[in-house]
A = this chain, B = another copy of it.
Amino acid sequence: MDLDLARELAQESDTKIVLFVMDGLGGLPHPETGRTELETAYTPHLDMLARESACGFTLPVGPGITPGSGPGHLALFGYDPLRFNIGRGVLEAVGIDFDLQPADVAARGNFCTVDASGRITDRRAGRIRSEDSARLVAGLRDISVDGAQAFVEPVREHRFVLVLRPDGRASARGKGLSDAVADTDPQKEGVEALPPKATAAEGEATAALVAKWLEGARKYLSDKSPANMALLRGFAKRPDWPSMAEVFKLRPAAVAHYPMYRGLAKLVGMEALPAGPSLEDSVATLRENWGRFDYFFVHYKYTDTAGEDGDFDRKVAKFEEADTVIEPLLELEPDVLMIAGDHSTPALMAAHSWHPVPFMLRSRWMRADECGMFSETELRRGSLGTFPAKDVLPLAMAHAGRFKKYGA
């Protein structure tokens, strides 16, 4: 749904919406049993809910499109992921809870190896250990460039984030930073790193500044190991999007343990509540904050992690764990309870995939589809069919009595 239309239709109400996201929810059948991870798991509460809910599948971005975590979640939050893009640098910064300011420019960094002539020999320096990375990052923090403050933060393995923030003097002269800077990562080996070229006139000052920073990085890293050079890509500024409060008249909160998901939620204006790693922690956070908000995004990461690791059995076990959250969620008596995923992560593929994602919605105002269980096979009978994930929030808004009639 177009956000302008949503803004026109949204009205306040005292109803409550809960979106429980099992990351990487969808799967593929095990070759021996013919049953997916979800179908193999014993999930009596999810199955009971399926019999009482409107069911279907979400298409996170579009047919055949495998989404990253960003697009997968933005769609569930009501933001068309094809229109609302997050630059790679911002996603990385957000993923480590870096407090990105509107004037900042962030880039994703890779430690890599180059030979004596400067040609890249390994773009990821053999995926060096996070400890090695952290040590190199500490050194990079000493590089100073004129006109900006440079923050360097380790991410994991060979990855880091570079954030440039205009310094007081630059700001005083009205000179902001621009993200119109091309990647220095050539995305292949055997060639030299690219210079950070401006992709538009307004990027030239920033490109020069990045070039100076890279010169410092090259000097510092040249005699280091296991990496001796750094590549930058995905220069981006924090997007300035209309918030969920503004568009949907909701007071939205995120209950997520991982920084990436808290960060994504903050980009659309949710308040990120502190949440520990377990489902008990999530439920406790929900209970404590139940009165303060009317939309809750609850994130469960481990189904995706198991899927990414190609561990079918662990993904099954994680579904069985997730099943225990259903009763406590129902006890809160939300007006709308939705069970969804940001994308599929079939253990058989050990990766995100494009497959439509199981979805169900329970509210007083719906036709229950009486699907026998919460599974890829049974949900095919659901009345919601396969629909764009960006329609999840509009559906919830309707079922929560939060949308006015369109036209007379």
Q: Which residues of A contact B (CB under 8 A)?
A: 1, 5, 9, 28-29, 34, 36, 57, 61-71, 81-82, 85-86, 88, 91, 346, 348-349, 352-356, 365-369, 376-377, 380-387, 391, 394-399, 403-408
Q: Can you spell out 6 A-B residue pairs with CB atoms less than 8 angstroms apart? A: A5-B62, A5-B65, A29-B367, A61-B407, A88-B408, A352-B405
Q: Which residues of chain B are near A404, meaning CB under 8 Å?
A: 66
Complex Cα distance A369/B377, Å?
Answer: 8
Q: Which residues of chain B are near A348, meaning CB under 8 Å?
A: 365
Contact for A81 among B91, B355, B406, CB less than 8 A: B406
Contact A407 B70 (CB under 8 A): yes
**A66 — nearest CB in chain B belongs to which residue?**
B405
Complex Cα distance A272/B201, Å?
Answer: 46
Q: Which residues of chain B are near A369, meaning CB under 8 Å?
A: 380
Contact for A406 among B29, B71, B398, CB less than 8 A: B71
**Distance to closest chain B CB from A364 (angstroms):** 9
Contact A355 B380 (CB under 8 A): no
Contact A403 B367 (CB under 8 A): no
Additional 19 contacts, C-beta under 8 A, given A68-B408, A69-B407: A1-B64, A5-B62, A5-B65, A28-B366, A34-B368, A61-B407, A63-B387, A63-B391, A64-B398, A67-B406, A68-B407, A71-B406, A86-B408, A88-B408, A354-B403, A367-B377, A380-B381, A383-B386, A385-B385
Q: Which residues of chain B are near A88, meaning CB under 8 Å?
A: 408
Complex Cα distance A5/B63, Å?
Answer: 12
Contact A66 B398 (CB under 8 A): yes
Q: Which residues of chain B are near A356, meaning CB under 8 Å?
A: 383
**A34 — nearest CB in chain B belongs to which residue?**
B368
State whether A355 and B367 are in contact (beta carbons under 8 Å apart), knowing that A64-B394, A69-B408 are contacts in the complex. Answer: yes
Complex Cα distance A74/B404, Å?
Answer: 19
Q: Which residues of chain B are near A62, meaning CB under 8 Å?
A: 1, 5, 391, 394
Q: Which residues of chain B are near A381, meaning CB under 8 Å?
A: 380
**Distance to closest chain B CB from A244 (angstroms):** 15
Q: Which residues of chain B are near A85, meaning CB under 8 Å?
A: 407
Q: Which residues of chain B are near A5, meaning CB under 8 Å?
A: 62, 65, 82
Contact A63 B380 (CB under 8 A): no
